[in-house]
Amino acid sequence: MSTVLIANGLKKSFGGVKAVDDVSFEVEAGHLLAMIGPNGAGKTTCFNLLNGQLKPDEGSVTLEGQQLVGLTPRQIWRLGVGRTFQITATFGSMTVLENVQMALLSHNQKNMAIRAVVSNLYVDEAMALLERVGMVEQSGRACSILAYGDLKRVELAVALGNEPRLLLMDEPTAGMAPRERIELMELTAEIVRERNISVLFTEHDMDVVFGHADEVIVLNRGQLIAKGAPDDVRNDAQVQEIYLGSGSTFAA
Amino acid sequence: MRKIISLAAGISTAVAMTATGSVFAAGTIKIGDINSYTRLPGHTVPYKKGAQLAIEEINAKGGVLGKKLELISRDDNGKPGDAVKKAEELFTREGVALISGSLFSHIGLALTAYAGQKKKLYLAAEPLSDALVWAKGNRYTFRLRPSTYMQAAMLAEEVAKLPAKRWATIAPNYAYGKDAVKAFKEVLKAKRPDVTFVTEQWPALFKIDAGAEVQALLRAKPDGVYNVTFGPDLAKFVREGKLRGLFKGRTILGLLTGEPEYLDPLKGEAPEGWIVTGYPWYAITDPAHKAFVAAYQKKWNDYPRIGSIVGYNAMLSVAAVIKKAGSTDTEKMVNAMEGLNLDTPSGKVHFRKIDHQSTMGAWVGKTKLKDGKGMMVDWKFLDGKNYLPSDAEVMKRRPGK
Amino acid sequence: MGFYFIQFLTGLASASSLFLIAAGMSIIFGVTRILNFAHGSLYMLGAYISYWLVTTLTPGPLGFWLAVLAAATVVGLVGIVIETGLLRRIYQAPELFQLIATFGVILIISDITRFIWGETDLVGPRAPGLDGAIEIFGHSLPEYDIAMIVLGPLVLGIIWLIFHRTRWGTLVRAATQDREMVGALGVNQAFLFTSVFFLGAFLAGLGGAAQIPKGGADLLMDLNVIAEAFVIVVIGGMGSILGAFLAAVIIGELNAFGILVFPQMTLVLMFAVMAIVLLVRPWGLLGRPEAVSRAPGEAPEPPLQRADKAVRCLFTATILLLLLVPLFSSDFILVILIDIFIFVLFAVSLHFIMGPGGLVSFGHAAYYGLGAYGTALLVHYLGTPMEFALIAAPIIAAIGALVFGWFSVRLSGVYFAMLTLAFAQITWSVVFQWNDFTYGDDGILNIWPSAWLSSKTAYYYFALILSLVCVYILRRTLFTPFGYITRAGRDSPLRADAIGINVQRQQWLAFIFAGAFAGLAGSIYVFSKGSVFPDQVAIPQSIDGLMMVLLGGVKTLTGPIVGAAAFTALTDWLSSNEVWFWRSILGAIILALVILFPQGIVGFVRDKFRPPEERG
């Protein structure tokens, strides 16, 4: 099994506060890696260090050997890192199909094309992705009128548009009903296996984490305090203490 | 689809009706009038009142060629582009015989260019820029009011007798101001080679920063100041000039400053002792003029401004030219207007064939405060024909005509 | 030396007057995020009311100042009326609607003022007790200038005390920094906004009232002062009072000393300073960068659709009809229609950047004007043939858009609107004051088309076909990847960035693309009129474009076409029927549109005929 992403000794502080303090981990190919931790643990900062929104003070991030530190989010995306957001971000004035086409157009460097019309471009490819996330029937509807769960699926299809090797998913199931959550994560897990993609996701819902993650890392106050298989992490005394101490439910 | 066709048919009928309707009302000759009625109403509304008075009198006497004259007015918003658009509208929709009016020089020049291109008659009533009949003049444009050159020459003649040698000028930075300064410098230099011009100030029209401008003039230590500003700019200039002592012990000239439009809004602030061109309507004893003033006051319950008499004379000129041409054909009217003579309340007016400038004169005098109001005293009427360059010089300035 | 000192004091005196109006504008913007274009109108009202009070009551020195304060208070109350009657209804609307609405207010106040006080310019009375001059180093300085020099810092000090020593002032400062936070604190937001508007209007009124001994009152004051106030607010930093003061002093002194060096270039200097400040510090000298632009509170438009059969038929029928018009109509109909073709192209190009691009440009006239002036200057100086000038015009405009756009797309929302406006004003001031080259106010005349187009009918067909082709290109581009990607950047910059789209570069290219077509429209205009004037670059030209798009419906593709046609026909009809109050009619239409009819004509029709699900 090969390693897709290696984060090594990441550090980032804001005005003296160490938001991320010497964090190192790896993401294996075809794995779902969950990053958990109480609010303010540094998850979002860590995410932003990986996707290029922020530049680490120290440390390195490599994607299959390629250094990512110093690259823009757009460059990182072009290297094969897809993203979904905690609050879905789609193009509201476009249909489901067109949303996916945008990712395909950008992936194929067609952003400036002014000859062909969009309705003839990458339709089959986009439909195939929508088929995979189960959104074919709704492909002609506007994103602005979609149910939230469906939007999440669209976002997933969009994120797959550049044939990523790694997906960064920020709280993929936030705001969804419990049943929808499970469906979405099962779908994600299937796709990951099928296409040998890796996923790094943050999540508050422990059911989702322990139900689907292959591996879990735990952040607290900027530091990595535990890492391992879900069951090991669940039984880790320090982790339990943090979650109990912070009042979060940490039901097994 | 049927609906669309019937809709299209409906639209085309409507368009066709507006297009053909109302072009010629029987028995009237339409005169187009374009002026800055909303941008500078204080100056243009008296013009229109004078014009309407003349039209009424002409029509009362049976009109021209058996037809009544009808004035169709349009507002140019103080914009040359709008004026050209309105001219187009007047000719093509209203079917006017000719256009007249306008006040701002740049608007007058735009209409001049339009008239030249479209071969339509334009009688520029009030704009003063010299270029209008000279550098940019054309066969289809005539001007009634004495030009900047003529008025500047009248003022220059007055001050050539005085000791002032160092002159400063202040003028709005557009066609009129530039022509006014150029003409004054030219005529004064010719009469008095020993004068020097020590500074020129060019505030943007109606955007004067008066205190700073006055300071800049003071800095040059002139013996005399030649002022071309008007409207709100003039008020601010006079206020600051008085307070900062610019006018003390200096010869001050005001182009047009003696006209009621310029002087009256200043009320008690009106400057004293300026040598100005203007319009002392209250003191003119000529019977024809007295009759004009009486008729004007009767009709409008207001006193005439310079615009009033220019508007009145403009319509007299229009009536005269149509009568002389015997038709409203543009070419015939142009031919008739070259060399046209007529009598007006301000004396005989002749439209010169050589450059299409009329010889209407102007009044030159000194300003004085009387009863908290600016007046002109020691004035005299100067005939315009004596204040134009030689014919040879005119030919040089009006190329290709 | 004494001379320079006096000139310095003179500059300070005019700075005080500028500060008062700019401070009010800045405070209002800081809290309500509305850039109040009608602030110049409030200034004008202050001047007229205090003129009326002072000349009818003829008070003594104390009474004079009481009259000035009374006038300012009345103007403050007018501000309350405007805020509660109009602006309160549109705080949630996009910036465009707010800016346009305040423009409508300008038109109405202008007519009301004319109705009450008449058309004659009023020369202000001297201030009792301050009607003379004092001697400094052998130079005279009006006493009233000294009063003005004191007044500016005095007002600044009072505002500072209010802002730092009262709870209300603390709230105003908090709201200036973060509007949402104030809502969260449970403050009565409506009261806060109204009271801030009162203060801002009061200051504008005070500025107008206090300047009457230096000038007076006239109907051109509103627009004359607003451009300068705008420059000061931008330079100082929007929402910063101290910044406004600093900027007012800079501009006041720049004018005072600028006329000594460049007597003909004062406006260019002012706008050039603004440009430099914007380039170095886009948020102004003492302003703060806006961290997050306001979330658009509006629903996105429905997905693009090819025109359905009915619409296509209607268009075909309209085009056929237009082709037939010269056969049966008068020249004047052709003149109006040519105008409409030009403005349709202008409006559609503006729509490209503001609709799909999501960037409301308040300076689209700059590119129209660059095309127009580029054409006229080429023909005038180089004798360029019409055909070549028509090709050059969009290139010139595109180069302008390339430069200005590069800076502008770095900002968003109202800051973008202001920066584009600032660039348009720089273009205007250069055209207006560079007399030796552009002929300034006099314009460039005799720019007629080639012989084969000299007849009205020929030019009609020419303009029609050119406009049709360009509108088709602009429309079709929206259906291509370039158009879609541009729209993607508007819909969700976050998502666009996350799929590798360089949103800023895309916006920049769209801006240049739109600018080029605006330039072509300007060029067609010049040849149709035979002349060009600075008005073609001025603010009203930009506003007209926005009005057209708004009238037709910003969220539709055919909206700008219908809007341009309707607006051109309407203004032509209003202004050619000797309706002297046509400005207030136009103003009222603007307000009605903004409040009651924000979806525009085409948006309204579409909503009627489409199922609710597909509505925006």
Question: Which residues 58-97 on chain A approach chain C with CB closer than 8 angstroms?
Answer: 73-74, 77-78, 82-83, 85, 89-95
B120 and B171 together in one domain: no
In a domain, B96, yes or no: yes
- Asked if residue B324 and residue B226 are part of one domain, the reply reads no
Residue C269 lies in a domain: no
Helices (H), A31-146: 43-51, 73-78, 96-107, 123-133
Cβ of A144 within 8 Å of Cβ of C614? The answer is no
Residue C578 lies in a domain: yes
Task: Identify the bridge partners of residue B364 per DSSP, sorted by sequence position.
Answer: B277, B380
Indicate if C371 and C503 belong to the same structural domain: yes
- Give span(s): CATH 3.40.50.300, chain A: 1-80+164-252
| Element containing residue B195 per DSSP (H, E) | none
- Among residues C169, C196, C217, the one where a domain terminates is C217
User: What are the pLDDT digits (tens) for C479-506?
Assistant: 999 999 999 999 998 899 889 999 999 9
Alpha-carbon distances of A135 from A140, A152, A199, C166, rounded to whole Å = 10, 11, 21, 57
Q: What pLDDT sits at residue C582?
A: 78
Q: How many domains does chain C have?
A: 2
Contacts of C330 in chain B (CB under 8 A): 19-20, 23, 92-93
C321 and C199, same structural domain?
no
- Answer yes or no: is pLDDT of A12 > 70: yes
CATH architecture of residue range(s) A1-80+164-252: 3-Layer(aba) Sandwich (3.40)
User: What integer pLDDT is reported at residue B237 of this predicted model?
Assistant: 94
Instruction: Summarize the confidence of residues C83-100 as an average pLDDT.
Output: 84
**Tokens for A59?**
């440390």
- The SS3 call for residue B253 is strand
Domain that holds residue C139: 21-217
Q: Does residue B164 surpass a pLDDT of 60?
A: yes
In this complex, which of A93, A102, A117 lies closest to C480 when CB atoms are compared? A117
Top-confidence residue, C296 or C197: C197
Q: Is A207 helix (H, G, I), strand (E, B) or coil?
A: helix
CA angle A74, A78, A84 (to 5 degrees): 70
Residue B19 lies in a domain: no
Q: Is B259 on the interface with C (CB under 8 A)?
A: no
Q: Which residues of A touch C507 (CB under 8 A)?
A: none
Residue B8 located in a structural domain: no
Considering only CB atoms, which chain C residues are within 8 Å of B200? 263
Cβ-Cβ contacts under 8 Å, A156 against chain C: none
Q: Say whether pLDDT at C186 is over 80.
A: no
Instruction: Kindly state whether A118 is in contact with chain C, defined as any CB-CB distance less than 8 angstroms.
Output: yes
- Name chain C contacts of B236, Cβ cutoff 8 Å: 214-216
> Considering the domain boundaries, does residue B135 fall inside one?
yes
Closest residue on chain A to C486 (Cα): A111
Task: Tell whether B18 is covered by a domain.
Answer: no
Closest chain C CA to residue A88 = C495
Picking from C199, C217, C235, the residue at the C-terminal end of a domain is C217
**pLDDT computed for residue B17 by the predictor:** 44
In this structure, what token pair is assigned to residue C228?
A: 């300068």
**For residue B271, what pLDDT is reported?**
92
CB contacts < 8 A, A to C, total 111
Question: Does one domain contain both B248 and B174?
Answer: yes
Best mutation target, B92, B99, B105, B206, to test chain C (most C CBs within 10 A): B92
Q: From CA A202, how far away is CA A60, in angstroms rounded? A: 20
Which B residues, 69 through 88, put their C-beta within 8 Å of a C-beta on chain C? 73-75, 77, 79-82, 84-86, 88
C432 contacts in chain B (CB < 8 Å): 204
Q: C314 — contact with chain B (CB < 8 Å)?
A: yes
What does the pLDDT look like over B208-262, one tens digit per residue? 888 889 999 998 999 999 999 988 899 899 989 998 999 999 999 999 999 998 8
pLDDT at position C183, please?
64
Question: Is C123 in contact with B235 (Cβ distance < 8 A)?
Answer: yes
Spell out the residues 6+ positions from residue C154 whose beta carbon is closer than 8 angstroms to its own: none
Which residue in the block uniquely carries the two structure tokens 């009792």?
C128
Query: Taking 80 as the threshold, does the pLDDT of residue A252 lie above it?
Result: no
Q: Are C441 and B73 in contact (CB < 8 Å)? A: no
Query: How far is the C-alpha of C262 from the C-alpha of C259, rounded, in Å?
Result: 5
**Euclidean distance between CA atoms B183 and B147, whole angstroms:** 10
- Of residues A104, C135, A6, C3, the one with CA closest to residue B215: C3
Mean pLDDT over the full length of chain C: 88
Of B80, B206, B267, the CB nearest to C224: B206
How many angstroms separate the CA of residue A82 from the nearest CA in chain C? 7
State how far the Cα of B279 lies from the Cα of B376, in Å rounded to an integer. 8
Task: Answer whether B287's CB lies under 8 Å from B276's CB.
Answer: no
Yes or no, beta carbons of C119 and B200 under 8 Å apart: no
Strand bridging mode A223-228 / A215-220: antiparallel
Residues C576-589 have pLDDT tens digits of 666 667 788 889 98
Q: Say if residue B14's pLDDT is above 60.
A: no
Which of C301, C292, C295 is closest to C357 using CA atoms? C301
pLDDT value of position A17: 83
Q: How many residue pairs from chains B and C have C-beta atoms closer than 8 A?
A: 216
Check which CATH number belongs to the domain holding C603 and give it.
1.10.3470
Interface list for C 250-279 with B (CB within 8 A): 255-256, 259-260, 263-264, 266-267
What's the number of domains chain B is made of? 2
* Subunits close to C (at least 3 CB pairs below 8 A): A, B
Q: In what order do the strands lie in the sheet with A66-67?
A: A17-28, A3-14, A58-63, A66-67
Question: Which of C531, C577, C584 best tests the B interface by mutation, with the highest count of B CBs <10 A?
Answer: C531
Q: How confident is the model at residue C152 (pLDDT cuts 50, 70, 90)?
A: very high
State ipTM.
Answer: 0.90
Considering the domain architecture, whether residues B128 and B207 belong to the same structural domain is answered as: no
Residue B177 maps to which CATH number?
A: 3.40.50.2300
- Whether B61 and B167 map to the same domain: the answer is no
Statement to judge: residues B262 and B368 lie in one domain: yes
Q: Which of C96-100, C265-269, C387-391 has the highest mean pLDDT?
A: C387-391
Pairing state of beta strands C531-532 and C444-445?
antiparallel
Q: Which two tokens stand for residue C435?
A: 């007399």
Distance of CA C458 to the CA centre of its chain: 35
Contact between chains at B265 and C329 (C-beta distance less than 8 A): no
Chain C CB within 8 Å of residue A138 CB: no
Q: What is the pLDDT of residue C179?
A: 66
Is C4 contained in some domain? Answer: no
Are residues A93 and C509, on separate chains, in Cβ contact within 8 Å?
Answer: no
Query: Per the structure block, which two tokens stand in for C579?
Result: 């309706």
Quick check: is C155 in a domain? Answer: yes
B369 DSSP β-pair partners: B374
For residues C204 and C320, state if they share a domain.
no
Give dist(CA B231, CA B215) in Å, integer.
20
Please indicate, yes or no, whether residues B272 and B335 belong to a single structural domain of this protein.
no
Q: Is residue B401 part of a domain?
A: no
Same domain, residue pair B48 and B132 = yes
Q: Determine contact: C311 vs chain B, CB below 8 A.
A: no
Distance CA C289, CA C272 (A): 21
Query: Per-residue pLDDT for C610 more than 70?
Result: no
Order across the sheet with A166-170: list the strands: A81-84, A166-170, A198-202, A32-36, A215-220, A223-228
The answer to whether residue B395 is domain-embedded is no
Chains that touch B (3 or more CB pairs under 8 A): C
Contact A20, A222 (CB under 8 A): yes
Asked if pLDDT for residue C85 goes beyond 60, the answer is yes
Q: What is the extent of the structural domain holding B355?
A: 28-147+285-361
For range C178-205, the mean pLDDT = 82
- B101 backbone dihedrals φ, ψ, rounded to 5°: 105, -150
